[in-house]
Chains A and B, each alone.
Chain A
Amino acid sequence: MSAMESMKNKIIEARGIFKSFTIGGKKLEVLKNLNFSVNEGEFVSIMGPSGCGKSTLLYLLGGLDIPTQGEVIFNSNSYNTMKEKDMSLIRRRQLGFVFQFYNLVPNLNVEDNILLPLLLDDKKPKHYEKDLKKILDIIGLNNWRKHTPRELSGGQQQRVAIARALLFEPKLILADEPIGNLDSKSGDEIMKLFKTINKEFDKTIIQVTHSNESANYGNRIIYLRDGVIEKDGAVKVG
């Protein structure tokens, strides 16, 4: 971590996180005492073998699930002390989510899908016309705004999902296997888009991925194995 980066603010922190599930009467410990933090502007990839708890960790960071023990601190506020409503507001305004299967509303057109978080917040879309156009330009789908997801390719759908995550200018973008469902060309394009968002728009990104290539687009990798952090370090350039 460079001196410059260490001066940046912590955006999210995991403190002593444990997560267990009870399956068939047996307790299964998925995450065991995780401690780490992510600073503003970082692009972190969480990697590890299947079942090591990567996605569970991402859900905990996004407040979609609660840890069995420990706490997640986002922007100096602990999720543990928040009500469901406040948690929804954080997800809506300060976090951006991107999923493997895009998760778009099939019956809404591209524009309405992107505007969804705004609508949830009772904001007037006409005030966001400029932002929408800018975002559509970034993702390169300005000509597709009136089309529904079923008329788009997988790569295009994922771009719409990224645009939706960007609309509210979130502090942190959480992506769960964002290119897991795409061919390598579309996958590369999406990762380049993430890189641009991270560098040029100074957005913090945490992604869960299986792919080394995808992880190399970021600047830090956290390796999980059997629910504990095995390695945590910067991406080697070159």
Chain B
Amino acid sequence: MSCFKLAFKLLKDNLKIYEHYLMVLVVTVATYYNFVAMRYNETYIQLANRLQSTAIASFTCGFVLLCTVIFFMWHSNGFFFKQRQKEIGLYLLMGISSSKIGMVFAIESFLLGALSIVIGLPLGILFSKLFFMLLGKAVSLNVEFPLTISFKAVLQLIIIFTLIFVFLAFKNYFEVKKSQLINMLNATKKNSTVPKLNYPKGFIGVILIIGGYIIGVNVRQQEFDLLLASMSTLIMVCLGTYLLFGSFLTIILSKLIKNVKFKYKNVRIIWLNNTFFRLKINYKTLAMTAILAASTVTAFSISLSFKQFADDNIIMESPYSFSYISNEAEVKQNVEKVINESKHQLIGVNEISFFVVDTKYLNKKHRIDHKNQAIVTSYSEIEKTLEFLNFKNKEIILDKIRPKENEVTFVLNANTIASPFFVKGEELSMNGRVYTVKEDIKVPFTGNIPTLGRKNIYVISDKEYDELKTSLLEITLNGVSITNPEESEDLISKVAEIVPGGFEKVYPYISQYVWEYYALGIFFFLGLFISVVFILATFSTLYFKILSNALLDRDQYIMLKKIGMSRKEVEKTVYVQVAMEFILPIIVGIIHSIVAMSMVEQIMNVKFTLQISSGIVLFALIITIFYLRLSKNYMKMVYQ
């Protein structure tokens, strides 16, 4: 039989073993196609041309996606190789040369790869309609992403995946070629060694993680440098995680193994020893899983939050259809007249008055206000604006921000998406008076209009505002709400003719800021998309890794069955053992991600509780499904 025919036959016979692997490969190929096709999509290219950050984000995502896929393939390939070592040994025993067996295995793994492309690619093309529909929805654009089969994408996918599969085929070939008969036959009899206890390393690991957390949760309070703080948190937590699984967990397990009361209860001794003795080989995978899980949950939750943030922020940036500055009654009347004569209908006008003043924080190193200037307005003006916009939770917000004498409420300007500075409780002087910042919030006021939109807003009590009125020049912004604001270009030109100062004092509806939200939409989409592949690849990698442990544990469980361990008892032990190797790193990852999200919350000054919770709940749900499936298969392997 030729190598090719034999490889084909083996693949056919072993298809059941490859089931899960093939499924993940098919999904990966299908998603990767869509991802590449998106980058070749005309509408997307136009969008990316306007926004460099989108192009960078999609490139980074593509790279990370590929790395994850390679990581997954590498590990699962290792699992299959381990599972079939005995088979390889038998072929060698029968006198077939190692290079021929190597060739057969290489061809078999290549055929498997080819099969995943053959199934995955048409599936990807079939799903691209749905994919582009979702993309369109995510970016909140009323544009169609037309469905076309991108031959460039197909070609790119085939080239990249073929390269990976050829590489894996070579790896298999060389591994079989250099293998020794005796090692192959005794592959499952390898002994694990006692892990060494390293107390300093273990404790440094825990200290690093705690240190990273402390920096993370205090980034705003302590006003750490953002880049430095996030980098140090990242490095400390990653390093700490490796030491946690490599040394600290070893110490804990060794203590438990020495604790007679604990280990002898419910046959804990079995999973305790299995986990302990395998830690030396496994800790890197456990740490890697924890870090990947943290990235996945964070990416997923942030993506959800970005979407929410973008939706919430549009009203901050664009509270009105258009606005203009003027406090002359005649101008206002004329504007209304022009609107009534146009095809639009006037919904309402919100007149807001304020001053522009110089500000100075008494104890703050960083500059908070742009050019040290800010808008000062009264509580009633904010109240009126929130009423006009029917802003959500307005009662609660208004109740919270009502300033007393010598107090101000800080409202972040509409131009800044998020500020890392924390000003609540700070003292600042405005117009010769010292105020204490009572609250630090973000609500709509002027919108992101030129010059004024960049200024933070300080809300003072009506009484104090009236006192200021006598000495300062008051500005009035008229926020106009009309029907069909998207088509208001002609109207705006007419309004500009009426308002003194023309276009300098009139702020139309369509502004560049909208694109930033489209970008957030794309980030949201890419984030979700990457999370799905992350979850699939990370869990599958771990899945195969743990099942390869099952191969090593098989004899042990068969023996335990013979000496009277019931199926239920074996099941209990297996479920705990799998949880130790699967759930534990993921729980650590989730805790990391909560800290990461808290950092993002602080930086953006928003609470994403709902998004974080839904991210974690969804993740937990997927973990549970994987965990149950994994434990079931583990059980199948050790207790057939």
Contacts and interface: CB of A to CB of B under 8 A. Distances in A.
Interface string B266-294: 11011001101100000000000000000
B567 A116 contact: no
A105 B264 contact: no
B270 A99 contact: no
Contacts of A124: 264
A97 B270 contact: no
A185 interface: no
B624 interface: no
A112 B269 CA distance: 8
Interface string A99-135: 1000111111000100111011010111000000000
B562 A64 contact: yes
B563 A97 contact: yes
Contacts, number: 73
Contacts of A95: 564
Interface string B540-560: 000000000000000110111
A117 B555 CA distance: 17
Contacts of A125: 260, 264
B254 to A, nearest CB: 12
Contacts of A122: 265-266
A107 B264 contact: no
Contacts of A84: 566-567
A119 B267 contact: yes
Interface string A67-86: 00000000000000000110
A106 B556 contact: yes
Contact of A117 (B265, B273, B563): B563
Contacts of B264: 115, 119, 124-125
A165 B562 CA distance: 11
B270 A105 contact: yes
A103 B564 contact: no
B640 to A, nearest CB: 13
A92 B559 CA distance: 12
Nearest to B272: A107
Contact of A105 (B276, B556, B561): B556
A3 to B, nearest CB: 36
Contacts of B564: 88-93, 95, 117, 120
Contacts of B273: 105, 107-108
Contacts of B567: 84, 88
B390 interface: no
A120 B568 contact: no
B192 interface: yes
B569 interface: yes
Contacts of B149: none
Interface centre among B192, B260, B266, B562 (most CB of A within 10 A): B562
Contacts of B565: 88, 92, 120
A33 B194 CA distance: 50
A192 interface: no
Residue of A84, A89, A99, A112 with most partner-chain B CB within 10 A? A112
A107 B563 contact: no
Contacts of A103: 555, 558-559, 562-563
B559 A120 contact: no
A199 interface: no
Contacts of A126: 260
A82 B158 CA distance: 58
B563 A85 contact: no
B267 A107 contact: no
Contacts of B561: 64
Q: Which of A85, A108, A164 has the most CB of B within 10 A?
A: A108
Given A112-B269, A119-B264, A119-B269, A106 B191 contact: yes
A62 B564 CA distance: 10
A99 B559 contact: yes
Interface residues of A, number: 32
A107 B266 CA distance: 18
B409 to A, nearest CB: 64
Given A106-B556, A107-B274, A124-B264, A62 B562 contact: yes
Given A103-B555, A107-B273, A108-B269, A120 B569 contact: yes
A150 interface: yes
Contacts of A115: 264
Interface in B242-276: 260, 264-267, 269-270, 273-274, 276
A231 B556 CA distance: 36
Interface string A151-181: 0000000000000110000000000000000
Count chain B CB atoms within 10 A of each CB in A64, A90, A92, A116 and give the residue with the most.
A116
A91 B563 contact: yes
Contacts of A108: 269, 273
B555 A150 contact: no
A41 B234 CA distance: 69
Contacts of B267: 119-120
Contacts of A62: 562
A136 B266 CA distance: 24
Contact of B563 (A106, A112, A164): A164
Given A99-B559, A125-B260, A150-B191, A107 B277 contact: yes
Interface in B349-371: none
A175 to B, nearest CB: 12
A99 B191 contact: no
Contacts of A119: 264, 267, 269
Contacts of A88: 564-567, 569
A159 to B, nearest CB: 16
Given A107-B277, A125-B264, A91 B569 contact: no
A64 B276 CA distance: 30
Contacts of B569: 88, 120
Taking each of B273, B559, B563, B567, which has the highest tally of chain A beta carbons within 10 Å of its own beta carbon?
Answer: B563
Interface centre among A85, A88, A90, A165 (most CB of B within 10 A): A88
A182 to B, nearest CB: 18
| Residue in B267, B269, B561 whose Cβ sees the most chain A Cβ within 10 Å | B269
A119 B569 CA distance: 11
B260 A116 contact: no
A169 to B, nearest CB: 14
A122 B568 CA distance: 14
A120 B559 CA distance: 13
B566 A105 contact: no
B498 to A, nearest CB: 87
Contacts of B560: 105, 116, 120
Contacts of B568: 85
A235 to B, nearest CB: 27
Contacts of B559: 99, 103-105
A177 B260 CA distance: 34
A107 B562 contact: no
A209 to B, nearest CB: 18
A92 B562 CA distance: 8
A99 B562 contact: yes
Nearest to B557: A105
Contacts of B558: 103
The 8 A-B residue pairs with the shortest CB-CB distance in the complex, in nearest-first order = A92-B564, A88-B566, A91-B564, A103-B559, A107-B273, A107-B277, A88-B564, A119-B267
8 contacts: A88-B566, A92-B565, A107-B274, A115-B264, A117-B563, A125-B260, A125-B264, A126-B260
Interface of A: 62, 64, 84-85, 88-93, 95, 97, 99, 103-108, 112, 115-117, 119-120, 122, 124-126, 150, 164-165
Given A85-B568, A89-B566, 17 more contacts: A84-B567, A85-B566, A91-B562, A103-B559, A105-B556, A105-B560, A106-B192, A107-B273, A107-B274, A108-B269, A108-B273, A117-B564, A119-B269, A120-B563, A122-B265, A125-B264, A126-B260
Interface of B: 191-192, 260, 264-267, 269-270, 273-274, 276-277, 555-556, 558-569
